[in-house]
Amino acid sequence: MPATTQTAPQAGSPAARSVRSPFGKYWALDPDMTFLNHGSYGVCPLPVREAQDRYRALMEQEPVRWFMSLLERHMDISRARLSELLRCPPECIGFLPNATVAISTILHSIDWRPGDEILVNDHEYMSVINELNRLGHRRGVRAVMPALPFPVRSSDQILGAILSGVTPRTRLVIISHITSPTAMVLPVEQIVSALRQRGIMTLVDGAHAPGCIPVDIQAIGCTYYVATLHKWLCTPKGAGFMYAHPSTHGALRPLALSSRGHQPHPTRPLYLRDFDYLGTDDYSPIACVPDAIEFWSNVVPGGLAEVMRRNHEMAVEARGLLCSVLGQVPACPDSMLPTMATIPLPPLPERYRNAPTVYGDPLQDRLVNEHRIQVPVWTSDLFGLRFLRISSQIYNTLDEYRYLAEVLRRELEREQR
Ligand SMILES: Cc1ncc(COP(=O)(O)O)c(C=O)c1O
């Protein structure tokens, strides 16, 4: 595989397209795209995909042996490696396909009483808000949603905003470790500590966190922590997990009970029995967790810690250059940036509001179709701001953001004409 995988500048393009870094050889990304959206779905590197092929071969060679004998062993190996990386007891990890399912599983396990309040904020992921709306209709619980300051000067302002929404009826607080629309690392340790003192349960939505920032679940001290491993840890798609404090295991069962749900096992707690087998499915993404961790250990000296450091630095620099070309001020301190950054954009002009779009904003459609750049542009349904979010992974280069900045400057001018 060549080290540089992109094509030459296209005729009529306002700026020279750039090549990916030499690390691009580990991914099979489309050579014709400038791919600046690692965050939404992750991209699985080739060595991990090869590992997945091996697990799938094992499964199809003898499916009964795979599901009845090998599967739990592989889940245990993955759980042990993940618990070392994220610092929590392995027996508290339940695997699920993604953060969305993990959050729903937790929300439906709690004995809600009408009038209970769940505190979120207006930077939470829409699947959480949708699930809370459903829970409100079915169980009479109320979602309380204070606004987070944005732009924000310091993480103390975030703590203040969250605590302002607490009432005597608050039973659970859901808080992102890294916000999806605004790409900020929130001070979850301080937030959880303040809420624990008030006897309130906490669910940290760390969908983006593993492989993006250091995570220490025990130090955070939350009741529940969920994440998706296909984003920044780069497993194949369909690997997520929840950490649940042992005091919650008795009530925490899958949304659909499998054929093993009635069969207690003398040496295996029901929590593991339940979440290691959710029914017949492809569990190879979860079996690949050790392979993904191994991939990161070997890719650069210093392993994953060094990758996260480099990616963070690239996000800081990339944000700086985009802000200076677009005349924007950074919306949060560099210390709150993970390996992504959000740049506010002018509102979508009125005449585009009802235009059909594939990607949700006509600007994103033009970036993809006319300039071959994949980067998300959206307007938050919750706080109304329009923005663009860049991701930085080791296959990216600063030249790619320079190309984006130049294209954006012209496209935003074009929008105003
Ligand atoms: C904060 C947050 N929570 C949850 C999710 C959902 O992740 P998944 O689609 O892997 O379930 C995302 C996805 O981007 C997210 O950013």
60 CB-contact burial (10 Å; exposed 0-12 / middle 13-18 / buried 19+): exposed
How many structural domains compose the chain?
A: 2
Ligand 1 atom with the smallest distance to the CA of 124 is 1
162 plus 54 within the same structural domain: yes
What CATH number is given to the structural domain containing 233?
3.40.640.10
pLDDT tens-place string over residues 157-215: 999 999 999 999 999 999 999 999 999 999 999 999 999 999 999 999 999 999 999 99
Ligand 1 atom with the smallest distance to the CA of 176 is 1
1 confidence band (pLDDT: 50, 70, 90): very low
Task: Give 192 Cα–ligand 1 centroid separation in angstroms.
Answer: 20
9: cis peptide before it, omega within 30°? no
Ligand 1 atom with the smallest distance to the CA of 178 is 1
- Whether the predicted pLDDT of 12 surpasses 80: no
Q: Where are the extended beta strands (E) located within 281-385?
A: 340-345, 373-374, 377-379
Percent pLDDT > 70 in the chain is: 96
pLDDT at 4: 40
256 plus 314 within the same structural domain: no
The last residue of a domain, from among 271, 295, 319: 295
- Whether the predicted pLDDT of 14 surpasses 70: no
The DSSP bridge pattern shows strands 386-391 and 340-345 to be antiparallel
127 plus 201 within the same structural domain: yes
98 lines ligand 1 (CB under 6 A): yes
Average pLDDT of span 381-397: 96
The 3-state DSSP composition of the chain as helix, strand, coil percent (nearest 5) reads 45, 15, 40
* Predicted TM-score of the model (pTM): 0.96
pLDDT tens-place string over residues 290-321: 999 999 999 999 999 999 999 999 999 999 99
149 plus 182 within the same structural domain: yes
**Range of 39's domain?**
22-43+305-416
Q: Where are the extended beta strands (E) located within 156-213?
A: 170-176, 201-205
Q: Token pair 């970036």 is at which residue?
A: 367
| Protein residue with least CA distance to atom 7, ligand 1 | 99
287 plus 367 within the same structural domain: no
- Check if the beta carbon of residue 348 is closer than 8 Å to that of residue 333: no
389 lines ligand 1 (CB under 6 A): no
The last residue of a domain, from among 269, 295, 321: 295
- Within a domain: 315: yes
Task: Give 4 Cα–ligand 1 centroid separation in angstroms.
Answer: 30
What CATH number is given to the structural domain containing 404?
3.90.1150.10
404 lines ligand 1 (CB under 6 A): no
324 plus 372 within the same structural domain: yes
82 plus 231 within the same structural domain: yes
CA distance 19 to 34: 8
Task: Give 228 Cα–ligand 1 centroid separation in angstroms.
Answer: 7
The last residue of a domain, from among 272, 295, 318: 295
- Whether the predicted pLDDT of 39 surpasses 80: yes
182 lines ligand 1 (CB under 6 A): no
272 confidence band (pLDDT: 50, 70, 90): very high
- Within a domain: 56: yes
227 plus 349 within the same structural domain: no
77 plus 204 within the same structural domain: yes
Average pLDDT of span 126-151: 96
171 plus 262 within the same structural domain: yes
- Counting ligand 1 atoms within 8 A of each CB, the residue from 228, 234, 391 with the most, and so the one to mutate, is 228
pLDDT at 15: 59
Task: Give 99 Cα–ligand 1 centroid separation in angstroms.
Answer: 6
Any idea what DSSP says for residue 249?
Answer: G
224 plus 367 within the same structural domain: no
131 lines ligand 1 (CB under 6 A): no
- Within a domain: 143: yes
205 lines ligand 1 (CB under 6 A): yes
- Check if the beta carbon of residue 28 is closer than 8 Å to that of residue 16: no
99 lines ligand 1 (CB under 6 A): yes
207 lines ligand 1 (CB under 6 A): yes
Task: Name the token pair of 167.
Answer: 């009432």
391 lines ligand 1 (CB under 6 A): no
Q: Which of 14-28, 91-105, 271-285, 377-391 has the weakest average pLDDT? A: 14-28
127 plus 169 within the same structural domain: yes
One-letter amino acid for residue 69 of the chain:
S
pLDDT at 417: 86
pLDDT at 19: 87
The DSSP bridge pattern shows strands 224-228 and 240-244 to be antiparallel
Ligand 1 atom with the smallest distance to the CA of 180 is 16
Average pLDDT of span 141-151: 97
Percent pLDDT > 90 in the chain is: 92
- Within a domain: 300: no
Task: Give 283 Cα–ligand 1 centroid separation in angstroms.
Answer: 19
Task: Give 207 Cα–ligand 1 centroid separation in angstroms.
Answer: 5
Task: Give 11 Cα–ligand 1 centroid separation in angstroms.
Answer: 37
- Within a domain: 72: yes
